[in-house]
Amino acid sequence: MTRAILAALNLLAVGQAAAAFELVPRATGSLDTWLTSETSVALDGVLDNIGASGAFTEGVIEGLVIASPSKVDPDYWYTWTRDSALTLKCLADIFVTGTDSDLESIIKEYINAQSVIQGVSNPSGDFSDGSGLGEPKFNVDETAFTGSWGRPQRDGPALRATAMITYANYLISNGDNSTARDIIWPIVKNDLAYVSQYWNDTTYDLWEETLGSSFFTTAVQHRALVEGNAFAESIGESCANCVSQAPQILCFLQSYWTGSYILSNFANNGRSGYDANSLLGVIHTFDPDASTCDDATFQPCSDKALANHKGVTDSFRDVFSLNANISAGSAVAVGRYPEDVYQGGNPWYLATTAAAEQLYDAIYQWKKIGSIDITSTSLAFFQAIYPSAATGTYSSDSTTFTDIVSAVQTYADGYMSIVEEYTPSDGTLTEQFQRDNGAPLSASALTWSYAALLTAAARRSSTVGGSWGSSNGNTVPSTCSATSATGSYTSATNTAWPTAPVSSTRPSCTAPTEVAVTFQEIVTTTFGENVYLTGNITALSSWSTTDAILLSAADYRSAYNLWYVTLTLPAGESLEYKFFKENDGTVTWEDDPNRVFTVPSDCGVSTACINDEWQ
């Protein structure tokens, strides 16, 4: 949070009738300059959230990745299998490209921790039949989370296999086949068995809201089995179930294509299906060695993935007022899906970087393949950013190729510049930024936001990971079948690394002095009515009804009656508060009791978001 924003928030805290604060736009320097500093902040941000030596991980088991240091509003003080695996994949790629050797210890600690987590019985099931591997999140002490949750989530084991295989392939290419076989394969094998057995069962999506089938999940499952089998073969093992199931998963993957975009979920959720789910599915199955812009695996440069990119990103143009004055063909702030109301329904940093990353991937592929194909499916995508685009094939020695690549690069950089614009000057990344004013919102220091920034920045500079084998005989079967291959599950207990991981000590961590708290109240109002907040501390105007804090209705929608305000409050302060409606001097209070809240004071936390409903 910048000083300027804090000051603005403070003014509002004491002011009256204050609307949502205005974020003074920061002067944006060149994106290159910003990324140089931001990637360093982001890498530190990731490491701060990995136990046991991360600055924000007091009490977290070694090798576990917390989603965020935020323990209330929202409580993300858990380790998610998906977020952790995506994060470790990012770190493994950085390690393998040789730029940070310190990361190797963390990768080994993660692998050790996952060998234990695999065996923890939980509400999704247990280890004996593999069902427990679908559990989405665990407590930071490696015990099961037993509260109700959207479970199972069947992307986790696939992503974890992919992350570990990245490191295993590094070991193999450095001649250490035995470590890859004796320590990593036994863990990966369980995850591959899980995917082969359960891919055709319903799952919660990556946003943990929708039960059905999810493009992201299916796409990463296919990838995991293809590279899992290749990994097995390279160490003299095999994965027969990978071989039997991968083609059927690929077959099912085709069914998400609507004809003009990817329907992110087969589920009864009343949504359009435009969802950053599909952008993330595309970037996490990007194969730098793909020999064509393959539609079947939705490669980033495929005409289907590009048409989908336009569909998804356009779906946010009219939804966020942040995007109001942005012309078609320029980058916008991107959220999860246009119908989202979580925390008010806002742009997410990781969704906006995903929109950029797909395009950097596509540029990489066009250059590698040596041409750009514009088809009737992708024409609208190209015309939006390069109006004279026409269907055809443009070879890399043509000026059209050069011009299109340049237009796509500018367009992609636009997404990164939006992230830059709404990142506070200290570089910290929350989960979301507010849809009207761009203020950081929801969970502080979100590990996935940092990892997403790092992967997008790497692709922007053409730094890519290894191939997963997308071009190796992945032909789509002519008939799709509902199949499954039952596997066996064996505890992986070998953690005898030739060079044991060396944990560093946890740096000291200073608790925040102030936290930006967003109060959200769902309350139905009529024209002329306003909603105010007041409470028992000075910053909440000491129960005054005349000096109370006015909430903003900028995001009030008929389907979602949101009023909100963000205030900077002292960390650790306990308070009582209530909302009231006012119309022409008539005050209507909420019912008792008073609401209570304690502003968080956890290390690493800078924001909190309270979600209330009129009582």
Ligand X SMILES: *[C@@H]1O[C@H](CO)[C@@H](O)[C@H](O)[C@H]1NC(C)=O
CB of 177 to ligand X, least distance (A): 4
Which CB sits closer to ligand X, 2 or 536? 536
User: What mask, x for binding ligand X by CB under 6 A, covers residues 93 to 132?
Assistant: ----------------------------------------
DSSP 197-258: HHTTS-EE-TTS--EEEEHHHHHHHHHHHHHHHHHHHHTT---HHHHHHHHHHHHHHHTTB-
**Residue 602, SS3 per DSSP:** coil
Question: Binders of ligand X among 587-606, rule CB under 6 A?
Answer: 596
Q: Could you tell me which residues come within 8 angstroms of residue 581 by beta carbon, excluding any fewer than 6 positions away?
A: 523, 525, 529, 530, 531, 532, 587, 588
Please say which residue, 462 or 574, places its beta carbon nearer to ligand X: 574
Q: Which CB sits closer to ligand X, 252 or 386?
A: 252
Question: CB-wise, 188 or 322, nearer to ligand X?
Answer: 322
Task: Give me the least distance between CB of 229 and ligand X, in Å please.
Answer: 13
In the bound state with ligand X, the residue whose beta carbon lies nearer, of 84 and 346, is: 346
Which span sits near ligand X by CB under 6 A: 11-19, 125-133, 322-330, 331-339? 322-330
Question: For residues 246-265, which are near ligand X according to CB under 6 A?
Answer: 251-252
Would residue 426 show up in a list of annotated catalytic residues for this protein? no
468 is in an annotated binding site: no
CB of 224 to ligand X, least distance (A): 16
In 3D space, the residue among 441, 562, 427, 595 whose CA is nearest the CA of residue 73 turns out to be: 441
390 binds ligand X (CB under 6 A): no
Q: What is the CB neighbour count within 10 angstroms for residue 614?
A: 17
Rounded-to-integer distance, Cα 602 and Cα 54, Å: 14
Instruction: Fill in the amino acid letter for 104.
Output: E
Q: Does 325 bind ligand X (CB under 6 A)?
A: yes
Distances (CA, A) of 248 to 35, 229, 417, 470, 522: 41, 15, 40, 15, 45
Q: Which helix (H) or strand (E) holds 489?
A: none
Task: Kindly give the pairing relationship between strand 371-374 and strand 392-395.
Answer: antiparallel
Of 138, 289, 280, nearest in space to 217 by CA = 280
Q: Six-digit token pair at 553?
A: 């209705």
Residue 468 interacts with ligand X (CB under 6 A)?
no
Binding mask 482-521 toward ligand X (x if CB under 6 A, else -) reads x---------------------------------------
Q: Contact between 321 and ligand X (CB under 6 A)?
A: yes
CB under 6 A: which stretch of 9-17, 58-66, 329-337, 475-483 binds ligand X? 475-483
Cβ 352 to ligand X, closest distance in Å? 15
CA distance 322 to 499: 50
Tokens linked to 502 = 């060396």
Q: Which of 44, 129, 182, 208 is an active site residue?
A: 208
**Contact track, ligand X, 202-241, x by CB under 6 A:** x----------x--------------------x-------
> Where are any strands of DSSP class E within 117-223?
137-138, 203-204, 211-214
Residue in 161, 172, 332, 452 binding ligand X, rule: CB under 6 A: 172
Identified binder of ligand X from the candidate list 14, 240, 324, 500, rule CB under 6 A: 324
CA distance 208 to 277: 11
User: Applying CB under 6 A, does 179 fall inside the site for ligand X?
Assistant: no
Q: How many CB atoms lie within 10 A of CB 381?
A: 25
Question: Could you say which of 48, 205, 413, 590 is catalytic?
Answer: 205
175 is a site residue for ligand X (CB under 6 A): yes
330 binds ligand X per the rule CB under 6 A? no
Contact, 407 vs 387, CB < 8 A? no
Q: What is the 3-state secondary structure (H, E, C) of 424-487?
A: CCCCCCCCEECCCCCCEECCCCCHHHHHHHHHHHHHHCCCCCCCCCCCCCCCCCCCCCCCCCCC
CA atoms within a 13 Å half-sphere pointing along the CA-CB vector of 393: 7
Total length of the chain: 615
Minimal distance in Å, beta carbon 97 to ligand X? 20
Q: Does 574 sit near ligand X (CB under 6 A)? A: yes
CA-based nearest residue to 596, from 563, 573, 570: 573
**Is position 208 annotated as part of the catalytic site?**
yes
Q: Which stretch binds ligand X (CB under 6 A): 267-275, 376-384, 425-433, 570-578?
A: 570-578
164 close to 109: Cβ distance less than 8 angstroms: no
537 touches ligand X by CB under 6 A: yes
List, in order, residues 6 or more apart from 169 with CB less than 8 Å away.
96, 180, 231, 234, 466
Query: Residue 142 region, left (φ>0) first, then alpha (ψ -120 to 50), else beta?
Result: left
Scanning 37-45, 155-163, 197-205, 410-418 for contacts with ligand X by CB under 6 A, the matching segment is 197-205
Taking residue 428's Cβ as centre, other Cβ atoms within 10 Å add up to 21
Of 375, 356, 359, 377, nearest in space to 367 by CA: 359
Q: Tell me whether residue 202 or residue 611 sits nearer to ligand X (CB atom).
A: 202
Q: Which is nearer to ligand X, 249 or 451 (CB)?
A: 249
Least separation in angstroms between residue 183's CB and ligand X is 15
* Minimum gap (Å) between residue 415 Cβ and ligand X: 16
Burial of 478 (0-12, 13-18, 19+ CB in 10 A): exposed
**Judged by CB, which is closer to ligand X: 65, or 220?**
220
Smallest gap, in angstroms, from Cβ of residue 606 to ligand X? 22
Residue 194, phi then psi, degrees to nearest 5: -60, -50
Binding of ligand X at residue 182 (CB under 6 A)? no
| CB nearer to ligand X: pick between 72 and 144 | 72
Q: Is there binding between residue 339 and ligand X (CB under 6 A)? A: no
Residue 575 as a binder of ligand X (CB under 6 A): the answer is yes
Kindly state whether residue 201 participates in binding ligand X, applying the rule CB under 6 A: yes
Interface with ligand X (CB under 6 A), residue from 120, 296, 369, 480: 480
* Of 2, 139, 177, 400, the one binding ligand X by CB under 6 A: 177
Q: Which is closer to ligand X, CB of 100 or CB of 201?
A: 201
Cβ 507 to ligand X shortest distance, Å: 32
Binding mask 271-290 for ligand X (x = CB under 6 A): --------------------
Task: Specify binding-site residues for substrate.
Answer: 149
| Residue numbers at the binding site for ligand X (CB under 6 A) | 172, 175, 177, 200-202, 213, 234, 251-252, 321-322, 324-325, 480-482, 536-537, 574-576, 596
Q: Which residues fall in the annotated binding site?
A: 149
Catalytic residue numbers?
205, 208
